[in-house]
Structure 1
């Protein structure tokens, strides 16, 4: 097995299992057994032959070393796989293995099974992440903190509103993942050139029965070189992974020593440095970034796999062999770690409130401007508060006092300038609650 450090430390083992050597070969065997059963049901082959084939199509009966040795010569694994199956059968049944099918039929139908299972696992991980975000969003709907634009304090918001943005984003992606999960569960049984001529007039009925046996959808049009569903699966994984990365970067940034508004979970030597005893690095979030960026990068390759020409690819298919497992596994690992980070996140509301005053109250500049705008006009109010902000930052004076002094000097009566950060969060709390409601409804729909 290839050693990859990040996988060894943090990979989602369930998804890794879906794309393991054992599971991949098992999926092909499941299709071969299903094909024989479907053909017997339709009357294309004998029922006893089908039963014999099904009994042999078990992973433990396959010599993997010999399979890969022969596949390296052929370039594809199904010919040597079916030869191993046939070699273990009596002459009659041996001649009905892989009857009328082509390599890509077996591999693509096996791929559909693995993609469907991958979507199920991603949905499970997304629910864990979303539930953790939902709890935090509810708890901190009214927890006031500084919103930051261009990495600088902007106006007051709430931590719940910030988290609600991630939760609403994730809800949209889960809805898309459900659609992708339905789209990828499609049987492939179209024969050598996509016409399914080898099975004769019974071909559609065999394909329909195979789809039923494997709990897949039928398609009346060959998709040997139509890889849009696979690419869409990759794109869905990529957007999920990108959301995880955005969340992780927020945790990393808010846990900076100079900000210190959140922190990953405590633990002996968690995030420790080999030389700086004080360090507690955000290692979960850092690993989310690693997995998430790898997932989005791999997903782009699947668009190139869509370029296959004629009725069979010449290299584009091999892109999928590398990148589909990578996309699924990296996205799952990012989701797994993001869920853990969210579920164990430590939040410090007192630090958030203290940070609101770190710039001398300047994050209330917009609030002051809008309080003055009715009498001065927005442009006039902006100019006055802008000059006051420069003065306050230069001298360290309180912004509101500088504005009052400027108003007294210019003559117009000053409106009430007593402004509270708690009263200038706009729709932030309601946005947090709306995101939680959206998530709850999405989960209820998924249980129907």
Structure 2
């Protein structure tokens, strides 16, 4: 094969285990594993003689495959299995030749191998998701009472806690865990239906053969062919994009809260971490930036999966090849986003004093709704809203604190009944939010 391009983003932040699962070696190995399982099952069912089946299993080993020849012949044929089968066959004793790949078609082997690889990939994504979710759960629990300005439209809105903010991510990751488990179940399915999906070449033992091969590979069986029904694979790819999307939301939050003017959180520190080549003061949120880049790429790639689902009749004509490029990339990008996000969460620096100071940055206007709701019982909601609105305008024009401006604007008998409200008085129920998210996360799948 020709030299492969260096993918700098995945090269720097990718997950080695995921890369190994989807490597050239593992991909060829998955095809060999399927051929061996097919021969084993055919030997058990009497389709092949036992010694022939055993010989095929012994020959279906990586050491018998010349990769240069495999890819050269694949370029001519268009698919790799013909060359793979010929090389396995050549490694057999003369008496057992002509029995490899008996009744199978190329896509049977490649799809079953892919299902095996993606099942392993899904398991690895589950591990990385758990690491990220556990780190976020710890942050939510630790900061359930750490008061911070909640922001809507990028502006201060009402007080909340950092733990309650993080709890929304924990809940989201719990839902992703369910999505990943469901998608994994639907993709880990053997494909063994022959050339046109009819199983004709497998004969009367087709159903039993398929079930046995599935068990040998650790996959589920099915009696409905999926040569062109790619919804399960598309679902899995979209789950990968969803995982990366949540990672990007968290990374964007870290970038925004790390801004010099806000400085409420920061990534882990270290010598030259996030340094600039020219500005000595810079400590850039480099891992968060990487996650945003990884997620942006998954979103763009995943759109191709809908084109893959357009495959017609009983065999794709180009749509299948799109999977070869898109699915491994989606998995690797998603794994990298999860792995890097877990690193961000585990090393995140949280600065409660800056959060407290920023609550005062707008003269206490973050408490405007709180005062309005306190006054609504006495004045009615609409009048209370208008009075507070006018007081806010006065504060912005004069720099006067909101509480002082309200005391001046309200009727004396009403002004005497209100007191200055600290941010802690208007947090809602952050502990309930955090506890509910933690309960979701800690529930076993």
Q: TM-score, normalised by structure 1?
A: 0.97
**Contact 2:64 2:91 (8 Å CA) reproduced:** no
**Contact 1:372 1:415 (8 Å CA) reproduced:** no
Q: For 1:330, which of 302, 326, 333 is the aligned residue?
A: 333
Superposed displacement of residue 429, structure 1:
2.5
For residues 440 and 169 of structure 2, the distance between their equivalents in structure 1, rounded to whole angstroms, comes to 12
Superposed displacement of residue 2, structure 1:
1.9
What do residues 347-367 of structure 1 show as CA deviations (whole Å, max 9, x unaligned)?
001111111000000000000
**Contact 2:194 2:201 (8 Å CA) reproduced:** yes
1:135 aligns with 2:158: no
Cα RMSD, aligned residues only: 1.0
Q: Which runs of 5+ in 1 are unaligned?
A: none
Partner of 1:52, secondary structure, is: helix
1:368 aligns with 2:367: no
- Which residue of the partner structure matches residue 162 of structure 2? 159
For residues 199 and 398 of structure 1, the distance between their equivalents in structure 2, rounded to whole angstroms, comes to 82
What do residues 410-432 of structure 1 show as CA deviations (whole Å, max 9, x unaligned)?
x6554223212111000222201
What do residues 59-89 of structure 1 show as CA deviations (whole Å, max 9, x unaligned)?
1321101100000000000001101111111
What do residues 238-276 of structure 1 show as CA deviations (whole Å, max 9, x unaligned)?
111100000000000000000000000011110100000
What do residues 283-328 of structure 1 show as CA deviations (whole Å, max 9, x unaligned)?
1110011111212221221111000000000000011000000110
Q: How does 1:276-315 map to 2 (within 5 A)?
A: 276-315=279-318
Partner of 1:145, secondary structure, is: strand
- Which residue of the partner structure matches residue 185 of structure 1? 188
Deviates more, 1:102-111 or 1:284-293: 284-293
What do residues 349-388 of structure 1 show as CA deviations (whole Å, max 9, x unaligned)?
1111111000000000000101111111111011100010
Q: For 1:232, which of 208, 214, 235 is the aligned residue?
A: 235
Q: For 2:417, which of 407, 415, 418 is the aligned residue?
A: 415
For residues 46 and 305 of structure 1, the distance between their equivalents in structure 2, rounded to whole angstroms, comes to 39
1:428 aligns with 2:430: yes
Partner of 2:79, secondary structure, is: coil
- Which residue of the partner structure matches residue 407 of structure 2? 404
1:391 aligns with 2:425: no
- Which residue of the partner structure matches residue 110 of structure 2? 107
Superposed displacement of residue 166, structure 1:
0.3
Q: For 1:206, which of 206, 209, 221 is the aligned residue?
A: 209
Partner of 1:271, secondary structure, is: coil
- Which residue of the partner structure matches residue 275 of structure 1? 278
Q: How does 1:14-33 map to 2 (within 5 A)?
A: 14-33=17-36
- Which residue of the partner structure matches residue 198 of structure 2? 195
For residues 137 and 263 of structure 1, the distance between their equivalents in structure 2, rounded to whole angstroms, comes to 16
1:61 aligns with 2:64: yes
- Which residue of the partner structure matches residue 217 of structure 1? 220
* Distance verdict in 2 for CA 1:301–1:392, change over 3 Å: same
**Contact 1:85 1:94 (8 Å CA) reproduced:** no
**Contact 2:133 2:173 (8 Å CA) reproduced:** yes
1:121 aligns with 2:124: yes
For residues 415 and 110 of structure 1, the distance between their equivalents in structure 2, rounded to whole angstroms, comes to 73
**Contact 2:10 2:332 (8 Å CA) reproduced:** no
Partner of 1:155, secondary structure, is: strand
Q: For 2:383, which of 373, 380, 386 is the aligned residue?
A: 380
Partner of 2:156, secondary structure, is: strand
Superposed displacement of residue 37, structure 1:
0.3
- Which residue of the partner structure matches residue 358 of structure 1? 361
For residues 255 and 192 of structure 2, the distance between their equivalents in structure 1, rounded to whole angstroms, comes to 48
Superposed displacement of residue 58, structure 1:
1.3
